[in-house]
Amino acid sequence: MRMKKVKININTSIFILLFLLKLAIIAGFLREIIMFDDDFMAEFSSFQGNIPKSKEGEWPAFDQHSLFETTALEVAQHVEVVPEMARTMALAAMAVACQGVVDVEFPNGNRVPTTLNLLTIAESGERKTAVENWFFKSVREFQEQKKLETKEKMSEYQRDIHNWKNGVKLLEKEWNRTFVSEIATRGTDEEISSKEERLSIENRQIEWKDNEPTPPRNYQLLYENVTPIALAYGLNTNIPMACLLSSEAGSVLEGQAIRDLHLLNSIWSGSAVDVNRRSTTSFSVIDPRLTVALMAQPNVIDRFLEKRGEEARENGFLSRLMVIKPESLIGKREGAGRSVDVSTINNFSLRIKELLEESSKILEDKKLSRKLIKFTPTAKKRWQEIFSIIESDMAEHGLYFNARGHGSKLMENITRVAAVINTFEDYSDNIGVDVLNYSYSLCKCYSAHYLEHLAGQPEIVTITNEVVKEIRRLSSSSDIDAGKYFFNKSVLRQYGRGWTRHPKKLAASILFLQDLGHLEILGKGKYQFSELILGVNEPVLKNGIHYNVEELYHFKDQEYYDEGRGRYKGYRLKESYTPR
């Protein structure tokens, strides 16, 4: 009995030892992952917030605990504008604060600025200026503070330059004296001594010239309603870092200023800008940083696109813009906006001023330089995935096939936005996947508005709008209540007007309507067209996202609906739909 008990104890001990050994192995394995896996450590040290997912075509929200999101929502509800309009202006202020502090590196090692070019298109009465004032108040306050400091430095400079000029005069007198002495002693033993004294004074003059006091540069951070050439001159004479903030973008988009838009492209890239003039002094701007935040009414944009749109697309100015035309709330406001949370606004303003102060020190001290932030290893992989998606969208019939200039700049805008958010929120030195994914979702929405409002209408869209009108007019039978029309292709070619009589153009339009989900083949040469998306699957192309066919409902205005029990199953208009 005793031997059996001992045997049981030994077996139990062996079991416990094996169990502890397994735990030790697992713990060691986990420690190896945590301590030595670069991806894990990099992501862990980066942002770990909770960013809600958004549906395609919807403006995404950022982490609810971030300064960016909380401040944007506070201002949006107070001023009574849509959140995306507030986020856009918040992003502009954040970019102004960050542009002098950090640059960002692509996964391939290319280094770019963190400046942004943003355009808000909204009617008068949309409270553009009110939103701007909330986010740029701290920027203006910091600018005024620096201007006061510049005035004090100017008094010191005037004293120093006065003393310096007196020193120049004294050295000139000494030089004159020694020069006269050298002439007078020529041919004597004292000539060599006089000449050496003159050369010594000339060396002192060179040294004195090198120490000429420089006037303090005016801290002009905000330029409002100026032309590109005047802006470039300001970046040369004042600090080389600024924001072009225009509540009425006419000064930039109208008149002679259009010819100088290429200057803004160079500045966006951070490249040196050389301005050569005939009548006045030429100048250069070295290593500039400029964020552009333009606001304009639709009629200004329409007039600009009509007159110079093609030129602006070709020179790349429009392609760099992050565009938003926010939903209008005019006539829908209830005056229910509460006061903003003071602590939220103060925290946002404090962070803006903190970054601006840091950028000011970098400008003043040549030993300091902007920090370079990079992507975490995992974010680099995701960056490459996004890049590949955008690149494929520039292929024929892709999303950016007719806007390749814009598509080629989109990845850089995504990168810059991620860097601005990461820096402003003070997450880490490396950009993580969460911030990159949010920036991608946000920039996709800006891109959709660019395609709709600035890109111009591709030929296939022009043709399809015309074809849809002719289908409605010439359909052999229809169910207007259901929004369905049945037609023969031969009838369109024989009796149709315009592009419908062109075989290749008509065929391309029919294929296009199929991809948009509004047309299906019933038989040889026989088709069904529907005002709503046909079938139960999402279409290959989405109207209002990939293209903007005015004669069709936008994809986002429709929803899939299933009544169940074998009843209706398909797409219908959302209850919230309002005609465009």
- 471-499, pLDDT tens digit by residue? 999 987 777 777 899 999 999 999 999 98
**Res 37: pLDDT:** 44
Is residue 411 predicted with pLDDT exceeding 50? Answer: yes
Going by the DSSP 8-state scheme, the letter that residue 564 receives in this structure is S
Residue 489: count of CB within 10 angstroms of its CB: 18
Q: Given pLDDT bands bounded at 50, 70 and 90, which one contains residue 174? A: confident
For the residues 387-416, what does the mean pLDDT come to?
Answer: 91
**Res 56: pLDDT:** 61
Q: How far apart are the first and last CA of the chain?
A: 92
Residue 363: count of CB within 10 angstroms of its CB: 15
Q: Given pLDDT bands bounded at 50, 70 and 90, which one contains residue 18? A: low
The fraction of the chain above a pLDDT of 90, given in percent, is: 50
| Amino acid letter, 539 | P
**Res 569: pLDDT:** 84
Gap between the Cα atoms of 152 and 423, Å rounded: 32
Nearest to 146 by CA among 224, 220, 93: 220
Of residues 279 and 70, more confidently modeled: 70
Report the predicted TM-score, pTM, of the whole model to 2 decimal places.
Answer: 0.75
| Crossing angle of helices 128-184 and 342-364, rounded to 10° | 20
User: In sequence order, which residues have a C-beta less than 8 Å from that of residue 314 and are 6 or more positions away?
Assistant: 405
Paired tokens of 272: 């040196």
For the residues 273-299, what does the mean pLDDT come to?
Answer: 87
Gap between the Cα atoms of 194 and 2, Å rounded: 119
Of residues 129 and 37, more confidently modeled: 129
**Res 2: pLDDT:** 44
Is residue 243 predicted with pLDDT exceeding 70? Answer: yes
Paired tokens of 549: 């066919």
Gap between the Cα atoms of 141 and 143, Å rounded: 5
Instruction: Select the highest-mean-pLDDT range: 234-238, 256-260, 343-347.
Output: 343-347
pLDDT in tens, 518-549: 999 999 989 999 999 999 899 988 998 778 89
Of residues 256 and 298, more confidently modeled: 298
Alpha carbon 37 to its chain's center: 32
